[in-house]
Amino acid sequence: MDMNKVPAWILALQTEDIEFIKNFVVHSGSLKEISKLYDVSYPTVRIRLDRLIEKIKLHEEIENEGFIQFIKQLSIDDRISLEEAKLIIEKYKQERNEG
């Protein structure tokens, strides 16, 4: 798979989050099986899954912000290069996270 086509929300996740998602899929989404795998209670797995869902939702909200959409549209319209758009968006995200 081309790394440029990997969704940004996946790239924003930590390694253990990606591992959890992989295990979740491999075990057909069974929280009971995941709790056995990690040797933790079902409620603990549920909390971890809920937190992961919130991380993904938060990243999606950031990606869909008006400013980011504006920069993406400038790139689509060839008013700025794709590389410039990526730099602007990354700088915006950094400053947003610091503030």
- CATH number of 57's domain: 1.10.10
Same-domain check for residues 42 and 83: no
Taking the whole predicted model, whether its pTM rises above 0.75 is answered as no
Report the number of distinct structural domains present in the chain: 2
Tens-binned pLDDT, residue by residue, of the chain (99 aa): 666 678 878 888 899 999 999 999 999 999 999 999 999 999 999 999 999 998 888 777 777 788 888 888 888 888 998 889 889 988 988 887 776
Same-domain check for residues 14 and 51: yes
Same-domain check for residues 77 and 46: no
Is 3 a domain residue?
no
52-57: long-range pairs with CB below 8 Å, 24+: 52/13, 52/17, 52/20, 52/21, 55/12, 55/13, 55/17, 56/9, 56/13
Which pLDDT does position 40 carry in this prediction? 97
Which pLDDT does position 1 carry in this prediction? 61
Same-domain check for residues 89 and 73: yes
Is 49 a domain residue?
yes
Same-domain check for residues 18 and 48: yes
The residue range of the domain holding 86 is 65-99
Same-domain check for residues 35 and 15: yes
